[in-house]
């Protein structure tokens, strides 16, 4: 049983109440807690030694990544993060100075985005270091962007470049908070999520939630220089394009918008965010799954993103 099969099994009968606007299945839970003009966003995520980082990673980068992952999910709902609690599980022989440096990185990112760190938990984990962050944020009432809004004919966009994140970018990425809020403020975005498990996997999640399919243009997928360099040197276990689809940990925005807005959006983006690439990589079609167009024609895409337990 892989990660997503387990999630489906566990979430099929979760209890709910009148506060739940969006429960399990999107980037964040969305709750109506009586704030009038705002909904509450609620997210938790964890980083685990040996899975999300190795023992030789500078500790401040570990702390930064632990919080940044949750911030990326708040961005995926076009929200603003507000406060976090942090659980840190440590081996018995932990070094206090290392733990302090973890918090230096976490606190610096929190301060950058005006997020309060308001508590948490410390515990023992003989298997190694684990950090879990629970983050709340807000989004204007009725303005949370979901995975489920993609429509046939929409253009599919992705920010930045994909693949090769393990070279170092997975520890240093910038959550696309400002970019997501700008998109929602200026365009009628239909669906939005972040790319954490690889484009091939995350696009499938968006399509499944929206009950549509996609036609992906191979030449339009933005491949990172790190993925290309690894492929040229023979250091990569897969071609650069496959790395861009499957590596994961990119933490870019993936969204859809009506095709008539595609060119105006690209033009406005270049003016607003000149240092960040935005690529139209395909379109939403009827049906299900992903079709790939390359120089040989159109065929089903068989690649998948990263999946725990697979």
Architecture of the domain delimited by 147-300: Alpha-Beta Complex (3.90)
Which pLDDT score, from 0 to 100, does residue 149 have? 95
pTM assigned to the model: 0.93
Which residue in 212, 74, 223 sits closest to 155, CA to CA? 212
User: Which positions of the chain have pLDDT values less than 70?
Assistant: 234-237, 309-310
pLDDT given at position 168: 84
265-282, pLDDT tens digit by residue?
A: 999 999 999 999 999 999
Q: Angle at which helices 59-76 and 177-186 pack, to 10 degrees?
A: 10
Q: What is the pLDDT of residue 76?
A: 97
DSSP string, 241-308: HHHHHH-----EEEEEE-GGGHHHHHHHHHHH-TTS-EEEEEEEESSSEEEEEETTEEEE-------T
Among residues 87, 64, 77, 63, which one has the least CA distance to residue 29? 77
Choose among 138, 140, 238: nearest CA to 198.
238
The pLDDT tens digits for 110-166 are 999 999 999 999 999 998 999 999 999 999 999 999 999 999 999 999 999 999 998
- Per CATH, 15-140 and 147-300 having the same topology is answered no
Helix count and strand count (H, E) for the chain: 8, 13
Dihedral sign (CA 60, 113, 279, 189): positive
- CATH of the domain spanning 15-140, picked from 3.90.1150.170, 3.40.190.290, 3.30.1330.10, 3.40.50.2300: 3.30.1330.10
Type and span of the H or E element at 180? helix 177-186
Give the pLDDT score at 235.
Answer: 56
- Cβ neighbours for 112, distance < 8 A, ≥ 6 positions apart: none
pLDDT computed for residue 166 by the predictor: 85
- Taking the C-alpha atoms of residue 16 and residue 36, their distance in angstroms, rounded to an integer, is 21
Q: Where are the domains of the chain?
A: 15-140, 147-300
């Amino acid at each position: 049983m892989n990660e997503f099969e387990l999630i489906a099994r566990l979430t099929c009968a979760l209890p709910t109440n009148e506060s739940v606007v969006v429960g399990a299945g999107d980037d964040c839970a969305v709750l109506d807690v009586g704030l009038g003009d705002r909904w509450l966003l609620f997210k938790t995520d964890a980083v685990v030694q040996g899975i999300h980082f190795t023992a030789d990673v500078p500790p401040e980068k570990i702390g930064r990544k632990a919080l940044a992952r949750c911030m990326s999910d708040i961005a995926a709902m076009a929200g603003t993060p507000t406060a976090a609690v942090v659980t840190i599980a440590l081996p018995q022989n932990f070094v206090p100075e290392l733990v302090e440096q973890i918090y230096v990185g976490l606190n610096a990112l929190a301060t950058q985005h005006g997020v309060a760190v308001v508590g948490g938990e410390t515990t023992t984990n003989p298997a190694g270091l684990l950090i879990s962050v629970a983050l709340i944020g807000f989004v204007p009432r009725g303005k949370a962007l979901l995975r489920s809004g993609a429509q046939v004919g929409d253009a599919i966009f992705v920010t930045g470049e994909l693949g090769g994140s393990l070279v170092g970018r997975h520890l240093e990425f910038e959550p696309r908070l400002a970019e997501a809020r700008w998109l929602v403020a200026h365009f009628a975005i239909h669906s939005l999520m972040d790319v954490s498990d690889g484009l091939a996997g995350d696009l499938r999640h968006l399509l499944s939630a929206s009950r549509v399919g996609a036609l992906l243009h191979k030449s339009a997928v933005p491949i990172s220089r790190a993925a290309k360099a690894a492929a040229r040197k023979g250091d990569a276990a897969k071609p650069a394009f496959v790395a861009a689809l499957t590596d994961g940990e990119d933490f870019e925005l993936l969204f859809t918008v009506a095709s008539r807005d595609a060119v105006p959006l690209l033009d406005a983006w270049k003016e607003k965010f000149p240092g960040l690439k935005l690529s139209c990589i395909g379109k939403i079609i009827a049906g299900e799954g992903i079709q790939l167009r390359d120089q040989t024609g159109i065929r089903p895409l068989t690649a998948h993103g990263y999946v725990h337990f697979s």
